[in-house]
Structure 1
Amino acid sequence: MKLSFPSSYHYYTKVQSPNLLPEIPRFAARGPRWRAHMDYSTTTTTRRHRRKDNNKVIVVMGATGSGKSRLSIDLITRFLPSSEIINSDKMQVYKGLDITTNKIPSEERLGVPHHLLGEFDSADPELTPSKFRSIASSVISDIASRRKLPFLVGGSNSFIHALVVDRFDPESDPFDRSHSISSELRYNCCFLWVDVSFTVLSDYLCRRVDDMLDSGMFDELAESYDPNEDDSVPRTGLKKAIGVPEFNRYFQKYPPDGGKRRGMMMIDDDTNPEEDVERRACYEEAVKAIKDNTCQLAKRQIGKILRLRAAGWDLRRLDATEAFRAVMVASDAGERAAAVWEKQVVEPSVKIVKRFLDE
């Protein structure tokens, strides 16, 4: 299940806003810092970021499934048309497994240019944070040179940190708690943190896995399965995507070749009832593992975001819990969910970004 609302709901009926981005890729030094009124959880004063580059960058971050892509598309298509998105999800940079890695479909991008989305071959050397820093910084320079505004959107906080921090050490892990995180950034960043109560988010993520399977995730994984893969070799690239190792164990026992689809599993004509039960149990075990691992990923991502915030990163928290809760309540709750999303996420984001661009 994706975070989607009725297309008939028009934000313009409530807020008439001019284009917030004139045509300026580089901006003057920032004025006094402004704190968003909706960020209720902030209890300490955030230190001013020191930076060497005046390029302004909007960073949309949050746990997996929290609505980052939705918010970035909302902001760009409605208010910031001269903007382009740079993907910062370490699985979505690779080609293939679009359903499994939850890439935003082309039709939902609404014409907004996306960079580093499905551009790398998983067979190539893994894209490390250091390589991402080098490549993405070149993309930012290119976008800015064309007088457009870069949006950095994704849930891989190691990629975000590597790109925007002023001094990056590829040999250290800033999130292992034995290293400090610097608040000195090389870009002028506006951080939008889409946050959802973990209890609500975990329920949503579990339902989303079921929807992904209904959309063809099982077939996608079956087609990509390599029976000759050496399990003793460390996984890299897409092989580390949640869903791949979990279903590989299923496919090792029930190879997908030569089977027929029946429900959500590959089944042969001569499958006996007892084996059918065993196969179903193995399938359900894989699905449960995917759900558990996805929720654990979200928990780790939230922990990293809190580490960045504690280090002085000025993250503007946007609480999307009620919007997600409305989506989960009933299938016909889309209109209410859309209204809550607009009021509690989009409207505050517009105010934050407008102030940031005016500084």
Structure 2
Amino acid sequence: MDCGGPTTNKDKLLVIMGATGAGKSRLSLDLTACFPPATFEVINADKMQVYKGLDITTNKLPVPERLGVPHHLLGEFDSLDGEVTPAKFRELAAQAVSGVISRRKVPVLVGGSNSFIHALVVDLFEPGFNVFDGDSVTVSISSELRYNCCFLWVDVSLVVLTEYLSKRVDEMLDGDAAELAEFYNSVEDDSVVRTGIRKSIGVASSAGILGSTRRREVARRWGTMTRYEEKHTGRNEKTGIGGRRFGKERVVGPSVKIVNHFLEE
């Protein structure tokens, strides 16, 4: 958690971050339930969930589960119209933040795409500069924030996270295989498989097996592949983070206290 700093004249922005499957969306909803109605509106910062389609594959939060909380930039763009770059996200998310603030609510940025989060929150953003490149010159990274931010990082132990991701893949496998097959049948041009929503876990790498006429074999082969890749992604994102189990006592309770303090500043 990181809140505070010389930002009293800036608009407030609550940011919920964490690895894939760590429970960011769940925490955002748990927080809304602990505050008066109409306190928050959520802005999605997951670079796969900004696109329409593949709701199961990208793990979008279904409308009935959003508890009436408005969600922005969630499934709003067609990947065939081009990729939503960090620079484009900065523009769109800033508009969403301004709209939320104009309604006298608190914007909550939720997502696992650090490039999107960075693009929005820094005061000076250079579209052609990748701050997550290990070879980058760090002196060029902006240290000033555009908003008065409070960062909540949802931290889950690697063992717990890996187990959860494995179960999640099992539960969504049948629906995913059908969803992906329908997605590829609806796309005429397969020449570009690493742009937009096709960067989702398992989408591009499943293209070669979705032509199979045997649905059971497709599901079996794709499921094995995706289980590995999703675990691998979680492991990469988890590097350097200490573990703790997600729960109300250890996460929601402390988060409510932190957010209360942040809002009262």
Asked if these proteins are the same fold (TM beyond 0.5), I'd say: yes
Matched ranges for 1:202-217 at <5 A? 202-214=162-174, 216-217=175-176
Matched ranges for 1:276-295 at <5 A? 280=217, 283-295=219-231
Matched residue type, 1:55: D
Matched, 1:92 2:41: no
Counting aligned pairs with the same residue, the percent is 54
Contact 1:49 1:185 in 2 (8 A): no
Partner of 1:344: 250
Matched residue type, 2:215: M
Matched residue type, 2:18: G
Partner of 2:62: 105
Cα offset for 1:146? 1.2
Q: Distance in 1 between matches of 2:193 and 2:133?
A: 21
Q: Distance in 2 between matches of 1:123 and 1:86?
A: 22
Q: Distance in 2 between matches of 1:144 and 1:47?
A: 19
Cα offset for 1:242? 1.4
Matched, 1:195 2:101: no
Q: Distance in 1 between matches of 2:142 and 2:160?
A: 32
Contact 2:4 2:150 in 1 (8 A): no
Matched, 1:59 2:15: yes
Partner of 2:30: 74
Match of 1:156 among 107, 110, 113: 113
Q: Distance in 1 between matches of 2:264 and 2:186?
A: 56
Which ranges of structure 2 fall in alignment gaps of 5 or more residues?
none
| SS class of match (2:152) | strand
| SS class of match (1:355) | helix
Cα offset for 1:351? 0.8
Paired residues in the alignment total 261
Matched residue type, 1:75: L
Partner of 2:196: 237
Matched, 1:130 2:79: no
Cα offset for 1:53? 5.7
- Residues 30-73 of structure 1 deviation map (CA, whole Å, 9 limit, x = unaligned): xxxxxx7xxxxxxxxx8975559611111011011111001101
Contact 1:85 1:153 in 2 (8 A): yes
Matched ranges for 1:186-335 at <5 A? 186-214=146-174, 216-226=175-185, 232-252=191-211, 254-255=212-213, 266=215, 280=217, 283-303=219-239, 320-321=244-245, 323=246
Of residues 59-68 and 173-182 in structure 1, the stretch that sits farther from structure 2 once superposed is 173-182
Contact 2:194 2:204 in 1 (8 A): no
Question: C-alpha root-mean-square deviation of aligned residues, in Å?
Answer: 2.5
Cα offset for 1:117? 0.4
Matched residue type, 1:71: L
Q: Distance in 2 between matches of 1:205 and 1:54?
A: 38
Contact 1:51 1:166 in 2 (8 A): no
Which ranges of structure 1 fall in alignment gaps of 5 or more residues?
1-35, 37-45, 256-264, 268-279, 307-316, 324-340
**CA gap 1:89/1:234 in 2 versus in 1, 3 angstroms:** same
Of residues 59-68 and 218-227 in structure 1, the stretch that sits farther from structure 2 once superposed is 218-227
Cα offset for 1:234? 4.9
Q: Distance in 2 between matches of 1:47 and 1:346?
A: 17
Cα offset for 1:102? 0.2
Contact 2:17 2:110 in 1 (8 A): yes
Cα offset for 1:243? 2.5
| SS class of match (1:152) | strand
Partner of 1:358: 264
Q: Distance in 1 between matches of 2:24 and 2:32?
A: 12
Q: Distance in 1 between matches of 2:192 and 2:52?
A: 21
- Residues 106-165 of structure 1 deviation map (CA, whole Å, 9 limit, x = unaligned): 111010000000100111110000000011001101111111100000111110010001
| SS class of match (1:73) | helix
Cα offset for 1:219? 1.1
Cα offset for 1:101? 0.5
Contact 2:15 2:110 in 1 (8 A): yes
Partner of 1:313: none
